Amino acid sequence: MADGSGAGAVDPGALLSLGDIDKNFGPVQALTGVNLDVPAAQVTALLGDNGAGKSVLVKIISGIHAPDGGQIHWEGRAVHFRTPKDATALGINTVFQDLALCDNLDIVQNMFLGRERRQVGLLLDEDDMEKAAAATLASLSVTTVRSIRQPVASLSGGQRQSVAVARAVMWNSKLVIMDEPTAALGVAQTRMVLDLIKRLADKGLAVLVISHNLNDVFEVADRVAVLYLGRLVAQGPAAGFDRQSVVELMTTGASSRVVAASQAAAAGLEG
Amino acid sequence: MSDVKEGAPPPLEAEPEALTEAAATRAELAVAPEIVAGSLGEYLRAWVARIKAGESGVLPVIIGLIVIAVIFQSQNANFLTAGNLVNLLVQGAAITLLGLGEVFALLLGEIDLSIGFVAGVAGVIAAQLVAFPHNWPWWAAVGVAILVTAVIGLVQGTIITRLGLPSFVVTLAGLLGFQGVMLMMVGQGGTVPIASDVINDFANGNMTVGAGWVVTALLILGYAALTWWRDQRRRASGLVAPPASLTLLKIAAVAVAGVALVLICNANRGLLVPIQGVPWVVLIVLGVLAAWSVLLGRTRFGRYVYAIGGNAEATRRSGVNLARIRTAAFILCSLTAGIAGIVYASRLRSVSTNLDGGTLVLYAVAAAVIGGTSLFGGRGKPPHSGLCGNVIAAIANGMGLLGMAAATQLIVTALVLLAAVTIDAVARRGRTPTGMH
Residues of A with Cβ-Cβ distance to B318 under 8 angstroms: 100, 113-115
Nearest to A184 among B27, B240, B435 (CB): B435
Q: Which helix (H) or strand (E) holds B351?
A: strand B350-352
What confidence tier does B41 reach under pLDDT thresholds 50, 70, 90? confident
| B321 touching chain A per CB within 8 A | no
| A122 touching chain B per CB within 8 A | yes
What is the structure's pLDDT at B245?
86
Average pLDDT over residues B274-281: 91
Closest CA to B394 of B60, B61, B68: B68
For residues B402 and B397, give the distance between their C-alpha atoms in angstroms, rounded to a whole number. 9
Pairing of strands A92-95, A175-179: parallel
Restricting to B residues 387-416, those with a Cβ less than 8 Å away from any Cβ of A are none
Q: Above 60 in pLDDT, residue A263?
A: no
> Would you give the distance in Å from CA B304 to the centre of its chain?
19
Nearest to B239 among A101, A113, A127 (CB): A127
Residues of A with Cβ-Cβ distance to B319 under 8 angstroms: 85, 114-115
| B312 touching chain A per CB within 8 A | no
Residues of A with Cβ-Cβ distance to B378 under 8 angstroms: 102-104
| B225 touching chain A per CB within 8 A | no
Average pLDDT over residues B337-360: 93
Average the pLDDT over each of B11-20, B245-254, B298-307, B309-318 and give the range with the smallest value: B11-20
Nearest to B435 among A123, A146, A157 (CB): A157
Q: Above 90 in pLDDT, residue B201?
A: yes
Nearest to B310 among A104, A115, A186 (CB): A104
Q: What is the pLDDT of residues B48-79, one digit of tens each?
A: 776 665 555 667 677 777 888 898 889 888 88
For residues B137 and A151, give the distance between their C-alpha atoms in angstroms, rounded to a whole number. 49
What is the structure's pLDDT at A206?
93
Better-predicted residue by pLDDT, B263 or A256: B263
A112 neighbors A129 (Cβ within 8 angstroms) = yes
In sequence order, the β-bridge partners of residue A175 are A92, A206
Nearest CA in chain A to B31: A150
User: Chain B closest CA to A105's CA: distance in Å?
Assistant: 7
Superfamily of structural domain A38-67+78-91+174-271 = P-loop containing nucleotide triphosphate hydrolases (3.40.50.300)
What is the structure's pLDDT at A193?
86
A123 neighbors B226 (Cβ within 8 angstroms) = no
Amino acid at B320: V
Residues of B with Cβ-Cβ distance to A149 under 8 angstroms: 35, 240
What confidence tier does A10 reach under pLDDT thresholds 50, 70, 90? very low
pTM of structure: 0.85
> Is A150 close to B31, i.e. CB distance below 8 A?
yes
| A105 touching chain B per CB within 8 A | yes
Amino acid at B360: L
Q: What is the pLDDT of residues B126-135, one digit of tens each?
A: 999 999 888 9
Percent of chain A with pLDDT over 90: 30
Nearest CA in chain A to B27: A154
Distances from the Cα of A232 to the Cα of A11, A46, A50, A255, A262, angstroms: 16, 10, 14, 13, 11
Kindly report the average pLDDT of chain B as a whole number: 84
Residues of B with Cβ-Cβ distance to A153 under 8 angstroms: 30, 431-433, 436
B7: helix, strand or coil: coil
What is the structure's pLDDT at B28?
55
Percent of chain B with pLDDT over 70: 85
> Is A146 close to B233, i.e. CB distance below 8 A?
no
Q: How many CB pairs under 8 A join A and B?
A: 109
For residues A177 and A175, give the distance between their C-alpha atoms in angstroms, rounded to a whole number. 6
Q: What is the pLDDT of residues B283-316, one digit of tens each?
A: 999 999 999 999 999 999 999 999 999 999 889 8
| A202 touching chain B per CB within 8 A | no
| A147 touching chain B per CB within 8 A | yes
What confidence tier does B437 reach under pLDDT thresholds 50, 70, 90? very low
What is the structure's pLDDT at B116?
95
User: Chain A closest CA to B358's CA: distance in Å?
Assistant: 31
CA atoms within 13 A on the CB side of A225: 31
| A127 touching chain B per CB within 8 A | yes
Q: Which helix (H) or strand (E) holds B193?
A: strand B191-193
| A155 touching chain B per CB within 8 A | yes
Q: What's the per-residue H, E or C state across chain A?
A: CCCCCCHHHCCCCCCEEEEEEEEEECCEEEEEEEEEEECCCCEEEEEECCCCCHHHHHHHHCCCCCCCEEEEEECCEEECCCCHHHHHHHCEEEECCCCCCCCCCEHHHHHCCCCCCECCCCCECHHHHHHHHHHHHHHCCCCCCCCCCCEHHHCCHHHHHHHHHHHHHCCCCCEEEEECCCCCCCHHHHHHHHHHHHHHHHCCCEEEEECCCHHHHHHHCCEEEEEECCEEEEEEEHHHCCHHHHHHHHHHCCCCCCCHHHHHHHCCCCC
> Is B307 close to A156, i.e. CB distance below 8 A?
no
What confidence tier does B433 reach under pLDDT thresholds 50, 70, 90? very low
User: Chain A closest CA to B8's CA: distance in Å?
Assistant: 23
B355 neighbors B335 (Cβ within 8 angstroms) = no
What is the structure's pLDDT at B331?
97
Q: What is the pLDDT of residues A129-176, one digit of tens each?
A: 999 999 888 888 887 788 888 888 888 888 888 899 888 888 778 999
Q: What is the pLDDT of residues A211-249, one digit of tens each?
A: 888 888 889 999 999 999 989 998 889 888 888 888 888
Residues of A with Cβ-Cβ distance to B49 under 8 angstroms: none
> Is A124 close to B300, i.e. CB distance below 8 A?
yes
Nearest to A114 among B311, B320, B378 (CB): B320
Restricting to B residues 51-110, those with a Cβ less than 8 Å away from any Cβ of A are none
Closest CA to B107 of B244, B309, B344, B287: B309
Nearest CA in chain A to B437: A98
What confidence tier does A6 reach under pLDDT thresholds 50, 70, 90? very low
- The dihedrals phi and psi of A78, each to the nearest 5 degrees, come to -70, 135
> Is B240 close to A149, i.e. CB distance below 8 A?
yes
Average pLDDT over residues B185-208: 90
What confidence tier does A2 reach under pLDDT thresholds 50, 70, 90? very low
Closest CA to B59 of B388, B393, B413, B394: B388
> Is B27 close to A154, i.e. CB distance below 8 A?
yes
User: Chain B closest CA to A173's CA: distance in Å?
Assistant: 15
B131: helix, strand or coil: coil
| A97 touching chain B per CB within 8 A | no
Average the pLDDT over each of A76-90, A103-117, A222-236 and give the range with the smallest value: A76-90
Better-predicted residue by pLDDT, B368 or B425: B368
Chain A interface disruption, residue of B15, B229, B237, B240, most A CBs within 10 A: B240
> Is A103 close to B237, i.e. CB distance below 8 A?
no
What is the structure's pLDDT at B50?
67
What is the structure's pLDDT at B15?
37
Q: Above 50 in pLDDT, residue B13?
A: no
> Is A154 close to B237, i.e. CB distance below 8 A?
no
What is the DSSP code (8-state) at residue B191? Answer: E
| A89 touching chain B per CB within 8 A | no
Contacts of A164 (CB under 8 A, 6+ apart): A95, A99, A100, A101
What is the structure's pLDDT at A43?
94
What is the structure's pLDDT at B57?
60
Average pLDDT over residues A67-78: 91
> Is A100 close to B23, i.e. CB distance below 8 A?
no
User: Chain B closest CA to A73's CA: distance in Å?
Assistant: 24
User: What are the residue ranges spanned by the domains of chain A?
Assistant: 38-67+78-91+174-271, 102-171
| A154 touching chain B per CB within 8 A | yes
Closest CA to A22 of A83, A70, A91, A71: A70
Our CA angle for B324, A177, A218, nearest 5°, is 155
What confidence tier does B10 reach under pLDDT thresholds 50, 70, 90? very low
Chain A interface disruption, residue of B50, B237, B315, B318, most A CBs within 10 A: B318
What is the DSSP code (8-state) at residue B305? Answer: H
What confidence tier does B32 reach under pLDDT thresholds 50, 70, 90? low
